[in-house]
DNA sequence: CTGAAAGCGCTTACAG
DNA sequence: CTGAAAGCGCTTACAG
């Protein structure tokens, strides 16, 4: 059904070798031969078979992106979808095709599947565990991690500087005079939520304050509902805080919803702040103050580095931390 | 670096043919041979080369998903990312790997690229034009469209019943006593926005009302900002409407923001309604009344049908319309 | 500059 | 039930 290089060669009146040379652009070809082949390619709408090409070159120019999540699907995730967008854009630029998989089991299956497809490299995102990591490492395939829940000294990792981000949040809230503070913290097994809370607390301590365990709500997941529930739980305490910091935006939005339903004005009575700077943060009512993560940069840098790894470079930094940035919006702005 | 079937055969003490039979699970193999091969596969962590396999079988079990958009990236799009999630999930179930591309030029390039990769089929989403469609049709590759901006009698198309959806919106708003009404309509070249407006208007007419052109704001794109701007423009008119219907949720959210900034209460003074039922509609303040689209069903059905097409089935429906559903939330609920 | 030959890692009839 | 051979569509030395 599809034409092959043999058809092209025959119709152009040259050998397969010559046809291959002009099509792949490698090796010497006479002007005349080149023209004949190119005309035939045009006429037959010939598309070289990348599969056959890959078989001999041992490169597919395909890359696999696996997003590991425990609960929810992923392409629609407000944070990871941004990273994915950046990867897709960079891929087009570099000439890679991207397989996207979401793995809710955090098993070896997705990696296995893509390994059989002979992808040139892998980008592993979010909830990794050591077993999985060791498994992937046991094959000699280049790979990098983005916002991984765990760290590994041997694997290049792209992540936001969450410790610094936590500090930024605390510093800002204190500077604005918000105290006492409550925190809604995502699952502490996940590196980023752990570090955000840690940074937040460290800054409080540095500034002469402290953060009591009872002022923290440990969320079971990182969704809106947990933010909402946090308000219900924290409110069982006597004192009402001046502001609530959640370790991601979705939970912060849940917090705001909870506050509003209880009749509080945000930020008039209680301010709220998130982390991530997802798209919704800018358009919610009130618009959410948050810590911006360079999602696009992270995604692009990850693919860029993976490309270098694929091309055989070795001396690459093992961790690249992106500097977060404070974004002040209505949810903490009084007057 | 990777083991081949030759290695397996040698180490298991059988021929390549026999090794292939047990690994691919086709053809007769003795118990003894099977066990030897399987043990070797286990021991060497052998992963069959899908590339080589594809070359002979002429099937890759890869499918390409191309999302055509004029302005914005796509994986993070609140509507299409949901469809994509569904496709990814179904793909895992059916054993396909998915290449995801986003094409902002609406050119032939993405399709070309994936055609060279020899994908078994293609899913084309959103902003197609006739030229592109004809191009893809000129190759004998199975493909389906989702929420395409254009229609084609020969191509299987999965879409929401937007005409019915527009009617649902109008019917509901009238029944709740909202009148007069304003509409914020997305670009009319796009089939869905055109049909939503058309259905809305038809229902008004059926009910003895009408929709003047000056009560419609034609948006340049389908983003939040256009909804916001619509309020500024429409407000230059003398009379204030009782409700505003936008042909998608993002614009409706912009409308709400515009109203709130002008000091109106939503829905107290002016109600607002959207279309799509994106995730954020449920958690915004106020939560948005909208028309729900079966995004997950659409994505799954599209891949299911594409799979059938790939497997040679021919007599498939050319269009599958999904029934939209009214979702009432706070933005239109008074008291 | 060009063509014949070998090979990438599999599968698939075909004998045996 | 098993193995040798041919072939999928390319690329890559190697002679010429």
CB contact under 8 A, B140 and A52: no
Determine the distance between A28 (CA) and D14 (C1') in angstroms: 15
Q: Residue B118: its pLDDT value, please?
A: 96
**Fold annotation for A5-48:** 434 Repressor (Amino-terminal Domain) (1.10.260)
For chain A, domain boundaries? 5-48, 62-160+296-322, 162-293+327-332
Average pLDDT over residues B89-113: 93
Cα of A152 to nearest chain B Cα, Å: 23
Residue A156 contacts B, CB cutoff 8 Å: no
Q: Is the pLDDT of residue A72 over 90?
A: no
Hey, which residues 10-39 in chain B have their CB within 8 Å of chain A? none
Structure tokens at A163: 């410790």
CB contact under 8 A, B78 and A76: yes
Average pLDDT over residues A65-82: 81
Residues 15-34 of A with CB within 7 A of strand C: 15-18, 21, 27-30, 32-33
Q: Residue A335: its pLDDT value, please?
A: 62
Please report which confidence band the pLDDT of residue A75 belongs to, taking 50, 70 and 90 as the band edges: low
Q: Residue B1: its pLDDT value, please?
A: 58
Q: Residue A127: its pLDDT value, please?
A: 85
Q: Residue B14: its pLDDT value, please?
A: 92
Q: Residue B72: its pLDDT value, please?
A: 67
Cα of A271 to nearest chain B Cα, Å: 16
B8 touches strand D (CB under 7 A): no
Hey, which residues 93-132 in chain B have their CB within 8 Å of chain A? 97-102, 112-118
Q: Is the pLDDT of residue A74 over 70?
A: no
Mean pLDDT over all residues of chain A? 93
In chain A the first and final C-alpha atoms are separated, in Å, by 69
Instruction: Tell me the per-residue pLDDT of B218-235, one tens digit each, with 9 for 90 and over.
Output: 999 999 999 999 999 888
Residue of A185 and B151 predicted with greater confidence: A185
Instruction: Tell me the per-residue pLDDT of B179-204, one tens digit each, with 9 for 90 and over.
Output: 999 999 999 998 999 999 999 999 99
Q: Residue B42: its pLDDT value, please?
A: 93
Please report which confidence band the pLDDT of residue A235 belongs to, taking 50, 70 and 90 as the band edges: confident
Average pLDDT over residues B98-122: 94
Considering B126-140, B196-210, B313-327, the range whose residues carry the highest mean pLDDT is B196-210
B17 touches strand C (CB under 7 A): yes
Please report which confidence band the pLDDT of residue A136 belongs to, taking 50, 70 and 90 as the band edges: very high
Q: Superfamily for A162-293+327-332?
A: Response regulator (3.40.50.2300)
Q: Residue A178: its pLDDT value, please?
A: 95
Average pLDDT over residues A204-228: 94
Cα of B206 to nearest chain A Cα, Å: 36
Picking from A317-326, B117-126, B198-207, which range would have the lowest pLDDT averaged per residue?
A317-326
Q: Residue B73: its pLDDT value, please?
A: 66
- Percentage of chain B lying above the pLDDT 70 cut: 98
Please report which confidence band the pLDDT of residue A194 belongs to, taking 50, 70 and 90 as the band edges: very high
CB contact under 8 A, B97 and A101: yes
Please report which confidence band the pLDDT of residue A73 belongs to, taking 50, 70 and 90 as the band edges: low
- Please tell me if the domain spanning A5-48 has the same topology as the one spanning A62-160+296-322: no
Determine the distance between B18 (CA) and C13 (C1') in angstroms: 14
- Percentage of chain B lying above the pLDDT 90 cut: 79
Q: Is the pLDDT of residue A231 over 70?
A: yes
Distance in angstroms (rounded) separating the CA atoms of residues B81 and B280: 13
Q: Is the pLDDT of residue A1 over 70?
A: no
Set of chain A residues whose Cβ sits within 8 Å of the Cβ of B24:
none
B5 touches strand C (CB under 7 A): yes
Residues 43-72 of B with CB within 7 A of strand D: 52, 55-56, 58
Structure tokens at B61: 């079990």
Hey, which residues 188-217 in chain A have their CB within 8 Å of chain B? none
Q: Is the pLDDT of residue B31 over 80?
A: yes
CATH 3.40.50.970 matches B62-159+296-321: no
Set of chain B residues whose Cβ sits within 8 Å of the Cβ of A118:
49-51
Residues 39-78 of A with CB within 7 A of strand D: 48-49, 52-53, 55-57
Average pLDDT over residues A87-111: 93
Q: Residue A86: its pLDDT value, please?
A: 95
Q: Is the pLDDT of residue A316 over 90?
A: no
Cα of B230 to nearest chain A Cα, Å: 16
Q: Is the pLDDT of residue A227 over 70?
A: yes
Q: Residue B335: its pLDDT value, please?
A: 62
Q: Residue B317: its pLDDT value, please?
A: 77
Cα of A172 to nearest chain B Cα, Å: 25
Cβ neighbors of B251 (< 8 A, separation 6 or more) are B184, B186, B219, B222, B223, B224, B226, B227, B230, B274
Q: Residue A56: its pLDDT value, please?
A: 94
Closest residue by Cα to residue A274 from A251, A257, A294: A251
B28 touches strand D (CB under 7 A): yes
Average pLDDT over residues A306-318: 87
**pTM to 2 decimals?**
0.94
Could you tell me how far CA B19 lies from the centroid of its own chain? 42
B49 touches strand C (CB under 7 A): yes
Encode chain B in three state secondary structure.
CCCCHHHHHHHHCCCHHHHHHHHHCCCCCCHHHHHHHHHHHHHHCCCCCHHHHHHHHCCCCEEEEEEECCCCCCCCCCCHHHHHHHHHHHHHHHCCEEEEEEECCCCCHHHHHHHHCCCCEEEEEECCCHHHHHHHHCCCCCEEEECCCCCCCCCCEEEECHHHHHHHHHHHHHHCCCCCEEEEECCCCCHHHHHHHHHHHHHHHHCCCCCCHHHEEECCCCCHHHHHHHHHHHCCCCCCCCEEEECCHHHHHHHHHHHHHCCCCCCCCCEEECCECCHHHHHCCCCCEEEECCHHHHHHHHHHHHHHHHCCCCCCCCEEEECCEEECCHHHCCC
Q: Is the pLDDT of residue B60 over 90?
A: yes
Q: Residue A78: its pLDDT value, please?
A: 85
Average pLDDT over residues B296-303: 97
Q: Residue A149: its pLDDT value, please?
A: 83
Report DSSP state, residue A152.
Answer: -
Architecture of domain A62-160+296-322: 3-Layer(aba) Sandwich (3.40)
């Amino acid at each position: 059904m599809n034409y092959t290089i043999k058809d092209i060669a025959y119709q152009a009146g040259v050998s397969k070798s010559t046809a291959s040379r002009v099509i792949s652009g490698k090796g010497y070809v006479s002007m005349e031969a080149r023209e004949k082949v190119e005309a035939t390619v045009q006429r037959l709408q010939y598309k070289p078979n990348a599969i056959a090409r890959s078989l001999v070159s041992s490169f597919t120019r395909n890359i696999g992106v696996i997003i590991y999540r425990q609960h929810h699907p992923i392409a629609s995730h407000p944070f990871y979808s941004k990273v994915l967008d950046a990867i897709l854009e960079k891929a087009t630029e570099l000439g890679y095709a991207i397989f996207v998989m979401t793995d809710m089991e955090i098993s070896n299956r997705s990696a296995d599947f893509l390994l059989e497809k002979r992808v040139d490299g892998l980008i592993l995102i979010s909830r990794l565990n050591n077993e999985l990591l060791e498994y992937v490492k046991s094959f000699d395939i280049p790979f990098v991690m983005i916002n991984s829940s765990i760290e590994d000294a041997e694997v290049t990792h792209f992540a936001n500087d969450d410790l610094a981000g936590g500090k930024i949040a605390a510093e800002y809230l204190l500077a604005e005079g918000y105290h006492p503070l409550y925190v809604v913290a995502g699952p502490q097994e996940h590196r980023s939520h752990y570090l955000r809370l840690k940074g937040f607390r460290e800054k409080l301590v540095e500034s002469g304050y402290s953060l009591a365990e009872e002022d923290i709500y440990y969320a079971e997941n990182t969704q809106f509902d947990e933010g909402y529930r946090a308000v219900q739980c924290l409110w069982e305490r006597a004192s009402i805080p001046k502001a609530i910091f959640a370790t991601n935006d979705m939970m912060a939005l849940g917090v705001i919803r909870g506050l509003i339903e209880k009749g509080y004005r945000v930020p008039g009575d209680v301010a709220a702040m998130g982390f991530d700077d997802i798209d919704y943060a800018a358009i919610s009512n009130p618009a959410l103050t948050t810590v911006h993560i360079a999602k696009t940069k992270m995604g692009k840098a990850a693919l860029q580095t993976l490309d270098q790894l694929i091309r055989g470079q070795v001396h690459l930094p093992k961790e690249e931390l992106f500097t977060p940035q404070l974004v002040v919006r209505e949810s903490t702005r009084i007057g």
